[in-house]
Structure 1
Amino acid sequence: MDSSLEEIEFLALSANRVDVLRLLSDDRCTRRELAEATGASQATLGRILADFDDRSWVRRDGSEYAATATGRLVATGFTDLQEIIETERTLREIVDYLPTESLSFDLRRLSDATITVPTQTRPNAPLQRLLGLLEDADEVWTASHAFNEQTLTVVRERTLEGDQRFNGVFSRSAIEALTHDSGLRRRLEGLLETEHASVRITDEEIPLAVMIVDDVVTLLLRDDDGILRASVDVSDEVIRSWAENTFEAYWERATPLDVEMVGSG
């Protein structure tokens, strides 16, 4: 085994080792303080500190211990690795539907995301999750390649009542799908007639549906057949900035949609 892998294994096989190295990277600690923080016995701590001293990861100063520069380097690198693995585990089920080429942010930003996928008992779980957010939202911005009946119904009712401000950019195919159904066309016309909604249409490809629902960014992931496979909700400043920039870019290049255009469609 490569020596670097052996060192990773040495650290990874003991949660106490990881905890002690992190604690000492943050601040000086006595053995008593380490025992209180980790729950490890004094005998265990003795072995850990001796192993760390052999690797020059820690130094003792009187009754206190502190991580060396290389010890802090290892602690930081191991924490980064854990965050990467945690994110991978979070995204493992949906990675096949995630258009990563459209995402300019670090995927680790999704480590705390709420991911909703269909189940046998709740096949429409991702859509229901989205509708739940929309039903309580004051402001919604979206750029999407789809505009389904349920979403249209919710935002139309909310905007008609003056309880929501809605701005959406949709692909031409999404709007045409609504106009080909007389009932959905009337609902779309009703949405366009409200002063609280603005809709634009684009001929650009929108590979990923992005919604900003108040303080939550929602990504809607579909497969190659257009079937909704997951909703990903996250509250993160970096991802929100990316979502806002993405929406604004589509919005600026899109054409405003009005009732006359829908009727003629």
Structure 2
Amino acid sequence: MESALSEIEFLALSPNRVAVLRRLARERHTRTDLAVATGASQATLGRILRDFEDRSWIRRADGGYAATATGELVADGFLDLLEIMEIEGDLRPIVRYLPTDALGFDLRRFEDATITVPSGTKPNAPVKRILEFLRDGDEVRVFSHAFNEGSLRVIEERVSAGETTFRGVFSRSALDAVADDAGLRRRLDSLLDTPDARLRVRDGEIPVAVTVVDDVVHLLLRDANGVLQASVDTDDTTVREWATETFDAYWEAATPVDRDELSH
């Protein structure tokens, strides 16, 4: 264990070592190629190559260098760890709001996700992010424990104009909260009157707020008090498959909205 940790430290302390090993694990490079690609001095590059040869991570090949089988193994493992740590760094500020038990996919699928958080100058940034997609989407599906006012407005306007189709599954508490507000209730009634919108209610818990706009999946993350803290969106195929399967399961188990049962 101690020896392995020291080798990890050996790589981690030098971005140039990581860059050289990454390139040699992909294909053969000459020393000149490596110098141009990394910007490392010849003296630094010479030390790196000697250290790698001593560890049998690289071999000389056709006037250049290439990774050995063990060099490729080290590169794959270290670069996987590096990727994980980069993702963790992105998620660290919002991980307390992520309903991880309800997410049926590896968090590494968030590698290319866009995370939007409120700021002093843009307190509504997470909502604005999702509204951008809703204004252009052809198909919208939602399962959620809350109905955002801005989303409801844009969805109602676009569905009424025949510009999008909408299906949503909401917890009963989410729909009751909308029904208790006169302005939101009018929008909800308008939405229910359109042929391109269908809403169902789930009496059980919906632990996560997810909106699928065409091929993009959005999560709205709230704290324990219901205050919106962030939005996360991604077009990752695995996340989209999870969202689609989860929506379908909720949809099948839910019942059509009965206006007479909503709060007044």
Give the TM-score, by structure 2 length. 0.94
Q: Secondary structure at the match of 1:29?
A: coil
CA contact (8 A) 1:193 1:259 kept: no
Shift of 1:108: 1.3
Q: Secondary structure at the match of 1:207?
A: coil
Distance in 1 of aligned mates of 2:215 and 2:61: 47
Per the alignment, residue 136 of structure 1 pairs with 136
The number of aligned residues is 264
Letter in 2 for 1:158: R
CA contact (8 A) 2:28 2:61 kept: no
Aligned counterparts, 1:30-41, within 5 A: 30-41=30-41
Q: Secondary structure at the match of 2:135?
A: helix
Per the alignment, residue 86 of structure 1 pairs with 86
Per the alignment, residue 102 of structure 1 pairs with 102
Which region of structure 1 is more displaced relative to structure 2, 223-232 or 24-33? 24-33
Per the alignment, residue 240 of structure 2 pairs with 240
Gaps of 5+ in 2: none
Aligned counterparts, 1:66-77, within 5 A: 66-77=66-77
Q: Secondary structure at the match of 1:243?
A: helix
Q: Secondary structure at the match of 1:136?
A: coil
Gaps of 5+ in 1: none
Shift of 1:260: 5.2
Aligned counterparts, 1:67-216, within 5 A: 67-216=67-216
Which region of structure 1 is more displaced relative to structure 2, 32-41 or 131-140? 32-41
Structure 1 segments of 4 or more deviating over 6 A?
A: none
Shift of 1:124: 2.0
Letter in 1 for 2:135: E
Q: Deviations over 1:116-172 (max 9, x none)?
A: 112222222212222222122211111000113222111111100000111100000
Q: Percent identity?
A: 62
Letter in 1 for 2:106: D
Shift of 1:261: 4.9
Per the alignment, residue 254 of structure 1 pairs with 254
Q: Deviations over 1:37-75 (max 9, x none)?
A: 222233222211110111111111341211111111110
Distance in 2 of aligned mates of 1:115 and 1:210: 14
Shift of 1:230: 0.7
Give the TM-score, by structure 1 length. 0.94
Per the alignment, residue 50 of structure 2 pairs with 50
Q: Deviations over 1:51-102 (max 9, x none)?
A: 0111111111341211111111110111111111100110011011001111
